[in-house]
Structure 1
Amino acid sequence: MLAEGEIHRVLVVAAHPDDVDFGAAGTIALFGDRGVEVTYLLVTDGDAGGNERTLDNSGMAQLRRTEQTAAAKVVGVTDLRFLGYSDGTVVPSLELRRDISRVIRQVRPDLVITHHPDRNYQFIGPSHPDHRAVGGSALDAVYPDARNPYAFPELLRDEGLEAWKAREVWLMGGSTPNHWVDITTSIDRKIAALRSHVSQVSHIEGFADFVRTRSAAWAEQGGLGEGRYAEGFQVVPTA
């Protein structure tokens, strides 16, 4: 596993606005505190989400981009990139692998954070089809696509993007986490980031308590002790 001092650039690949905040905002805030450069890559604009039914899809897409931009700012992230795929219809594809590979080669991250590609039978929330499709495609982009100069040769030929090897992947939302990040000092920023997604969470009574309870359960699962909060990931080495 990468040592703390070996992580200088992080790319987070997520399906929808708010996914990164539910899964990793506390961790991202801590990265920012250490001066780590973090980029968000959102595959969709979340245009099929939310409880605001007075907006059409384009209006919802713009709203959710704005909410995600505000949420990112809370944890110190200003580099956000949106691919504009249609919410709810993402499937693993060569096109998606190429688009993610492009950003990996642009950002040149040490670490990629993305969704677990397998269904979680313990808690179904992380198993949205878009999540699984994005997670699988991101892993394929990490290995072998982004590091292989012969994969998607147009990226090098037409865009000058040299192959890049991300050294590690952390998966969000799986049933077999093996790494827990203590976010006790950043839990308030995680909640604030999530509350930026007004269209998604403003109707949920006791939302902050829900986030704290779930984060406390992760801390307990990770053996961090009572009164702590954590986020859990499955670490995938790529060497």
Structure 2
Amino acid sequence: MTDELPALKILLVHAHPADIAAEGAGTVVLHTRRGDDVTCLVCSDGERHHNNLIYREYAKPPDQCDPKVLGATVDDICAFKRREAERICDVLGIRRLYAFGWPDVQWVCTHEKIMQIAEVVREVRPDVVLTHMPWGEQQSQLTDVHAVVGHMTRMAVRYCSDSLPQVDGHEPHHTKLIFYFPMLGMADTNFMFGTGNVCDVWLDITPVVDKKVEALDVLVSQGYEGSMGRKLVAAREGRWGMICGCSYAEPWMRDRAVRYAHLPVRPEDLTKKYVPNDLPGDQMLCHQLPQKTPPDAYDFPLS
């Protein structure tokens, strides 16, 4: 361990494989590098979401199309995306991957799905859970599958805390903290008196942004490799970094107030020198990072 905080057990709960790389991946690397035990649960293989690799093949002249790609079955696509999820976990240092394989459709919150997530929570027994914001960009739990997963995860964590052996047949588990990751434009300010979402936790991922970009390089099924991943991180995580005063950042929101024994003043708050115009963005420019897409990343079929 590199600081006084003991090793943590952290559980990520995501809707699709791509979310492992795109949503909070820098935060994950910060914690795996400090020795924390990180487990990931992905609810679906994402077989319908952003299937850019197949659509790019359809756009080619017929004599240039790869019959293996165009002839891929749903099992082929699921296996392809599952492999991407496994490789992303390897890049980020995630030790275990649970994959439910739910059909990639518009989910609703159900008791059965909540209990499935709760079973993983009971098995992993995390100190901290990271998941999607439990409401969508339209402030609805019904219009965004990521929000549905965030909401069901919240309920599963609560169920595990409330469990009684006499009622549920197993011991309770209390997760200490839940952090929610906002989708795209949901976090674009740190102005506490404005409207919209104001995330209360911002992590500087500049030291590990290369690993986030490398994880995106694995996502050839969605076309996130190469220039797209670098554009995404520069535009989004770079914007978030500008908000909180670093090159690249990821925002999170806690689900409840946090109590301190004293004002949360950091050592760097007391040592930072005044500058008339703080200009973050001079470190680790992601567009300069070499592409690390695996050589066999485009190979079909796998199933």
Partner of 2:292: none
1:205-220 mapped onto 2 (5 Å cutoff): 205-220=227-242
SS at match of 2:162: coil
The CA distance in 1 between the partners of 2:217 and 2:16, in whole Å, is: 15
The CA distance in 1 between the partners of 2:37 and 2:146, in whole Å, is: 24
1:1-239 mapped onto 2 (5 Å cutoff): 5=5, 8-49=8-49, 50-53=51-54, 54=70, 55-120=72-137, 129-143=144-158, 145-150=159-164, 156=170, 162-173=171-182, 175=186, 176=197, 177-202=199-224, 205-221=227-243, 223-225=244-246, 228-237=247-256
Q: Deviations over 1:63-102 (max 9, x none)?
A: 1110011011011113000111111232111011101111
Q: Is the 8 A contact 1:102 1:155 kept in 2?
A: no
- 1:216 Cα offset (Å): 1.3
Unaligned runs of 5+ in 1: 157-161
Q: Deviations over 1:127-148 (max 9, x none)?
A: 97221110100011111x1112
- 1:165 Cα offset (Å): 0.7
- CA change 1:128–1:56 in 2 (3 A) is farther
The CA distance in 2 between the partners of 1:152 and 1:63, in whole Å, is: 43
Mean CA deviation greater in 104-113 or 146-155: 146-155
Q: Which amino acid aligns with 2:144?
A: P
The CA distance in 2 between the partners of 1:84 and 1:153, in whole Å, is: 29
Q: Which amino acid aligns with 1:107?
A: V
The CA distance in 2 between the partners of 1:136 and 1:164, in whole Å, is: 18
Q: CA RMSD in A?
A: 2.5
Q: Is the 8 A contact 2:216 2:229 kept in 1?
A: no
- 1:14 Cα offset (Å): 0.4
Partner of 1:159: none
- CA change 1:205–1:184 in 2 (3 A) is closer
- CA change 1:9–1:149 in 2 (3 A) is same
Unaligned runs of 5+ in 2: 55-69, 187-196, 259-303
Who wins on radius of gyration, i.e. which is larger? 2
Q: Which amino acid aligns with 1:90?
A: W
Say which structure is richer in strand.
1
SS at match of 1:170: strand
What TM-score, normalized to structure 1? 0.85
Q: Deviations over 1:143-163 (max 9, x none)?
A: 1x111224995662xxxxx31
- 1:37 Cα offset (Å): 0.3
Mean CA deviation greater in 39-48 or 84-93: 84-93
SS at match of 2:47: coil
Q: Is the 8 A contact 1:7 1:110 kept in 2?
A: no
- 1:30 Cα offset (Å): 0.8
Q: Which amino acid aligns with 2:12?
A: V
SS at match of 1:40: strand
Q: Which amino acid aligns with 2:242?
A: E
